[in-house]
Structure 1
Amino acid sequence: MRTVSSLLLVLALAACEPADPPGAPEAAVAVDTTHVAEPTSRVVVAYKGRLEDGSVFDESERATFNLDQVIQGFQSGITGMHVGETKSLSVPPEEGYGADPPPGIPPNATLNFQVTLLDIVE
């Protein structure tokens, strides 16, 4: 009985799709190098904002902003990004909300963002 179980296991494993071999290249991410965010661009982004303790204070899968109307650290972090690019931003309090933040963010908090630039609206 044990031999039959082992044989069935070997046959089941043989029918599986092989995994990517070690060192195989990762799937390519499409980055549009012809469109670059400028300090006054209107952009569409996906982002997640976290506090230093890791708690999420804000996130969106698709948000549209004018970069000249957001906090300085978010603006400077996205400026220069290409459509399709993902970037991690660490925004110090003096480039974020400082001593007078909106609800849910403590005063003088460092803000950490994971941002993907989805589009630049022309």
Structure 2
Amino acid sequence: MTEITRVPILPIRKGSLTKLWVGVAAVALAGAGLAWASVPHGVEIVELVAGKGESPKADDVIFARYVGKLPNGTVFDEGKDVQLPIQGVFPAGQPLPLAQMVPGFREGALKMKKGGKYRLEIPAEKAYGATPPPGAPIPPNTDLTFEIELVDFMSQADFESRLGMFQQMMQQAQGGQPAPQPAR
């Protein structure tokens, strides 16, 4: 009886099995590299001018001059110096409570130092993601760039204390009249 389905198997050359496994490993590493490259890596902070001293804490209020831009260069927000009539109560810059900022902005600010200037690249998922604030010129899923000068920072409690002191000074300047309260 003759076997028709029989296929002769040639012997494997010496070293061919090693080459096969090296090839499989190379393909696996290349796939892992592509997967790693496609994953967002978080906030990127570039120091433009070095600051000095400590960095703010997560619950501090920072005072900053900043410009926020979309990827195409369009400015969507710009912080202005707060124009307070009494010197020494608040530093220059826009007060920004870090506890209320988007996660990427807060993450970057925690690495800054007083007097420094920085560029902050925030990926969309650490900015506003798919739901930007209503009426904002920020499209959904947009990366944001900020140029920030960290003028100063203080604790939330110190900020609130100074704000209360400022309000009292304003009441006294208006002839002792208490500030109008909203109608109920």
C-alpha RMSD of the superposition: 1.5
Q: Aligned pair 1:31/2:51, yes or no?
A: yes
**TM-superposed deviation, 1:30:** 7.9
Deviation at 1:40, TM superposition (A): 1.6
More helix by share: 2
Moved over 6 A (4+): none
In structure 2, stretches of 5+ residues that fail to align are 1-48, 81-92, 156-184
CA apart distance, 1:78: 0.6
Task: State the TM-score, normalizing by the size of structure 2.
Answer: 0.48
Letter aligned with residue 88 of structure 1 = R
State the structure with more CA Rg: 2
CA distance in 1, matches of 2:154, 2:138: 29
Q: What secondary structure, in the 3-state scheme, does the structure 2 residue paired with 1:113 have? A: strand
> Are 2:148 and 1:115 aligned?
yes
Q: Assess if the C-alpha contact under 8 Å between 2:119 and 2:147 holds in 1.
A: yes
Superposed, 1:24-103 pairs within 5 Å as 31-33=51-53, 35-61=54-80, 62-102=93-133, 103=136
Structure 1 or 2: more strand by fraction: 1
Mapped to 2, the partners of 1:115 and 1:121 lie a distance apart of: 17
> Paired residues, what number?
93
Asked if the contact 1:38/1:80 (under 8 Å) is kept, the reply is no
Secondary structure (helix, strand or coil) at the match of 2:79 reads strand
- Normalising to structure 1: TM-score of the pair? 0.71
Partner of 2:139: 106
- 1:48·1:59 contact (CA, 8 Å) conserved in 2? yes
Kept after mapping to 2: 8 A contact 1:31/1:85: yes
Tell me, in whole angstroms, the C-alpha distance in 2 between the residues paired with 1:109 and 1:31: 29
**1:43–1:119 contact (8 Å) kept in structure 2:** yes
Q: Indicate conservation of the 8 Å contact 1:37/1:43, yes or no.
A: yes
- Larger RCO: Structure 1 or Structure 2 (Cα < 8 Å, ≥ 6 residues apart)? 1
